[in-house]
Amino acid sequence: MNKPTPERIFIAGHRGMVGAALVRALHARGDCELLLRNRDELDLCNAAAVDAFFAESGIDTVYLAAARVGGIHANQAYPAEFIHQNLEIANAVIHAAWKHRVQRLLFLGSSCIYPRAAPQPMREECLLSGALEPTNEPYAIAKIAGIKLCESYNRQFGTDFRCLMPTNLYGPGDNFHREDSHVLPALIRRFHDALQTDLPEVRIWGSGTPLREFLYVDDLAAACLHLMAQPRERLAPLITPQRSHLNVGSGEEVGIATLAMMVAEALGYRGHISFDRSHADGTPRKLLDSSRLRSLGWAPAVPLADGLCHTVRYYLDACAAARQELANAKTTIGTTTATGTRATAIPSLRH
């Protein structure tokens, strides 16, 4: 008897934090064939290249985890890149998925694309109900366009393109860039740097009062697989053709000041923590109502304290590996070149 052909799954952005977690989750499931392409092999902003890739690959399922992503600083410094690249990626991948008869696609929005003053906890229907947070408006507009692309292809062509709206994510593979990262990896880096340099005080950007929800990235990957495994009929009562996204969050809310203390403790930093109010806070409170997704049987498994420890361990290991790589490079090619390669020697920290 012929063996059934395994599902062919394209994970766009598989080297990113979410993409890598999806790879781990799908490998663990072990019943599919993963198609993975680096940015240098396939630029997802290049619609012609994306089309050619889909035409030759026989893809059944797409997880679209590629995007230009960053924290407040990056969003404000590079607004053109955030709107342009995210629109291009969504346009190219979603259109090719329709054209080449992909059976199911998952697009990821973000809780930060809900209106700034949305009632908390935020329900799915509050999308497009008010003004956006100005610091990330270009990113939000592109992400909303991605959701609307999915819905429009579903409405016109009967495709099965689904959308999840994740809260703030964190975990192994996060971006620890000094300025471009999100709050949690940025805190890990700042406290670690302070420890390394015996800094007596760490100043945190903003007032420390905003409340945030965090979801460990492996919990998100489990949620993605869970949603994609649902038959259409099970989703039907939860969504409408023009409100098809489902929230995904942990439900665990924490103040930035408390988070800073948790990070300091996880790293063993004993100095003083202060707050620099000259930096923008962003949205004052951001908590998702994830009851619709939870009614389908998904629940988060990793509490913040545990996820934080895993992430700190990942960061410390990545730093140690980077130091080792740097030492090896110095021994083999001399100090001048080794210093020049520092940025590429620490890819997981994305200097």
Q: Which of these segments, 1-9, 59-67, 306-314, 328-336, binds ligand NDP (CB under 6 A)?
A: 59-67
Contacts of 207-210 spanning 24+ positions with Cβ under 8 A: 207/256, 207/275, 207/277, 207/281, 208/255, 208/256, 208/257, 208/260, 208/275, 209/255, 209/256, 209/257, 209/281, 209/284, 210/255, 210/256, 210/281, 210/282, 210/283, 210/284, 210/285, 210/286
Sign of torsion, CA 164 168 174 178?
positive
Nearer to ligand NDP, 106 or 338 (CB): 106
Q: Which of these segments, 67-75, 115-123, 229-237, 332-340, binds ligand NDP (CB under 6 A)?
A: 67-75
Q: Do the Cβ atoms of 133 and 141 come closer than 8 Å?
A: no
Nearer to ligand NDP, 194 or 311 (CB): 311
Interface with ligand NDP, residue 13, by CB under 6 A:
yes
**Token pair in block for residue 112:** 């930060």
Count residues near ligand NDP (CB under 6 A).
24
Interface with ligand NDP, residue 282, by CB under 6 A:
no
- DSSP letter string over 260-312? HHHHHHHHT--SEEEEETTS---SSEE-B--HHHHTTT------HHHHHHHHH
CA distances from 232 to 13, 159, 161 (A): 26, 11, 11
**Token pair in block for residue 184:** 């949690």
Q: Rounded to the nearest 5 degrees, what angle is found at the Cα of 145, between the Cα atoms of 132 and 56?
A: 150
Window 17-46: contact mask with ligand NDP (x via CB under 6 A): xxx-------------------x---xxx-
Q: Which of these segments, 76-84, 168-176, 195-203, 300-308, binds ligand NDP (CB under 6 A)?
A: 168-176
Q: Do the Cβ atoms of 229 and 262 come closer than 8 Å?
A: no
Interface with ligand NDP, residue 67, by CB under 6 A:
yes
Window 85-104: contact mask with ligand NDP (x via CB under 6 A): x---x---------------
List 61, 120, 168, 311, residue binding ligand NDP (CB under 6 A): 168
Rounded to a whole number of angstroms, the minimum distance from the CB of residue 87 to ligand NDP is 11
Q: How far apart are CA 221 and CA 258, in angstroms?
A: 26
Interface with ligand NDP, residue 345, by CB under 6 A:
no
Rounded to a whole number of angstroms, the minimum distance from the CB of residue 334 to ligand NDP is 28
Interface with ligand NDP, residue 110, by CB under 6 A:
yes
Rounded to a whole number of angstroms, the minimum distance from the CB of residue 332 to ligand NDP is 26
Q: Which residues are known to be catalytic?
A: 139
Q: Which of these segments, 153-161, 163-171, 228-236, 283-291, binds ligand NDP (CB under 6 A)?
A: 163-171
> By the criterion CB under 6 A, which residues form the site for ligand NDP?
13, 15-19, 39, 43-45, 65-69, 85, 89, 108, 110, 166, 168-169, 175, 182
